[in-house]
Amino acid sequence: MSRLAVRKTYKLFIGGAFPRSESGRSYPVTSPKGDFLANASRASRKDARDAVSAARKAFPGWSGATAYNRGQILYRIAEMLEGRRAQFADELGLGKKAALESVDAAIDRLVWYAGWSDKITSVRGTANPVAGPYFNLSTPEPTGVVAVVAPADPLLGLVSVVAPVIVTGNACVVVAAERTPLPAITLAEVLATSDLPGGVVNILTGHQAELAPWLAAHMDVNALDLTGVTDADLALRCEQDAAENLKRVLGPAGDDWSGDPGLGRMTAFLETKTVWHPMGV
């Protein structure tokens, strides 16, 4: 007699915990062929607000951690992902070769971003030769809480938008790819075992069109990444609502994650702080 598998309940990831949606709702997730895979939690407006609170709470500690420490943790995420290579490859629902390539690319991307933690300040900061007896230095700092609408590519795309946001010290709330949300929750298990402080990454599954507008209008969200929004009207509405508290907005993007990421996804969520002090004896 073959053994009956113990299935996983896919829940949300908020503040380092795995709650179900407070709404009690879920939605069926199917494979590309239409086979039932699981019921994912369908997050509500309240879940989104809870996630923002968790991110805000995590922000001072995470942005105050040393760059070295953040880099170590991102590298640790890559290590944990490497250990679950086969599991992710299965979950991606691609051919085996393509799936492994995609997982490997996600791992490598995390390693790449991990190394930026203690270099981005040197590359983006400036020493400013002002016309007077002053010490004057500009350094990049994280923007704060970033709401991210993740692209359809469920693992490589997700890692490619989350890593640049958090490596510099931001905290985020991520809306996972709507039709392929399961790898995002499995990634949350990786994050939860990588010494990443709870609340730095919060992952919501559910309907993009339902969640994104609340995050775009939320007054305690500092920036908005609309990468995964494919509906132009929804993207426009989110960008307009983001104006209310002057959120920094990164617009929708295509879904090719194979190229050189560049610095743009990090710099979009960095502020520049300039400190002056007089020189004297």
Partner 1 sequence: MSMFEYAPAPESRDVVDIKPSYGLFIGGEFTDGSGPSFKTVNPATEETLAEVATASSDDVDRAVQAARKAFDAWSGLPGSERAKYLFRIARIIQERARELAVLESLDNGKPIRESRDVDVPLVAAHFFYYAGWADKLSHAGFGPDPRPLGVAGQVIPWNFPLLMLAWKIAPALACGNTVVLKPAETTPLTALLIAEICQQAELPPGVVNIVTGAGETGAAVVAHPDVNKVAFTGSTDVGRLIARTVAGSGKKLTLELGGKAANIVFEDAALDQAVEGIVNGIFFNQGHVCCAGSRLLVQESIQEELLAALKRRLATLRLGDPLDKNTDIGAINSAEQLAKIRQLSEAGESEGAERWSPACELPGRGYWFPPTLFTGVAQSHRIAREEIFGPVLSILTFRTPAEAVEKANNTPYGLSAGIWTEKGSRILWMADKLRAGVVWANTFNRFDPASPFGGYKESGYGREGGLRGLEAYLDV
Strands (E), 210-269: 223-225, 248-250
Alpha-carbon gap, residue 19 to 41, rounded angstroms: 9
Least distance to partner 1, CB of residue 74, Å: 22
Q: What values do phi and psi take at 32, rounded to 5?
A: -55, -30
Taking the complex as a whole, the smallest distance from the CB of residue 144 to partner 1 amounts, in Å, to 8
DSSP assignment of 15-74, as one string? TTB-PPPTT--EEEEE-TT--EEEEEE---HHHHHHHHHHHHHHHHHHHHS-HHHHHHHH
C-beta closer to partner 1: residue 98 or 130: 130
- Report the nearest approach of partner 1 to the CB of residue 127 (Å): 9
Crossing angle of the two packed helices 67-83 and 96-116, in degrees rounded to 10: 170
Task: Compute the least distance from the CB of residue 211 to partner 1, in Å.
Answer: 19
In the sheet that holds 248-250, the strands lie side by side as 201-204, 171-175, 145-149, 223-225, 248-250
Smallest separation, CB 222 to partner 1 (Å): 7
Residues 6+ apart with CB under 8 A from 131: none
- Looking at the Cβ atoms of 126 and 193, the one nearer to partner 1 is 126
Name residue, tokens 């995609």: 102
Residue 15 DSSP code: T
Phi, psi of 160 (to 5 degrees): -70, -20
Q: Which is nearer to partner 1, 38 or 249 (CB)?
A: 249
Residue placing its CB nearer to partner 1 in the complex, 200 or 223:
223
Nearest to 181 by CA among 207, 213, 200: 207
- The distance of closest approach from Cβ of residue 214 to partner 1 in the complex, given in angstroms and rounded to an integer, is 17
Give the nearer residue to partner 1 in terms of CB position, either 98 or 243.
Answer: 243
Structure-token pair, residue 239 = 């960008």
Residue ranges binding partner 1 (CB under 8 A)? 123, 126, 128-132, 134, 136, 138, 143-144, 222, 232, 235-236, 239-240, 242-246, 248-249, 251, 271-278
CA 126 – CA 107 distance, rounded (Å): 31
Instruction: Report the C-alpha gap between 269 and 205 in whole angstroms.
Output: 23
For partner 1, the closer CB: 1 or 246: 246
CB 44, min distance to partner 1, A: 26
Nearer to partner 1, 86 or 123 (CB): 123
Residue corresponding to tokens 């923007």? 143
- Give the nearer residue to partner 1 in terms of CB position, either 37 or 67: 67
| Three-state SS at 249 | strand
Least distance to partner 1, CB of residue 225, Å: 14
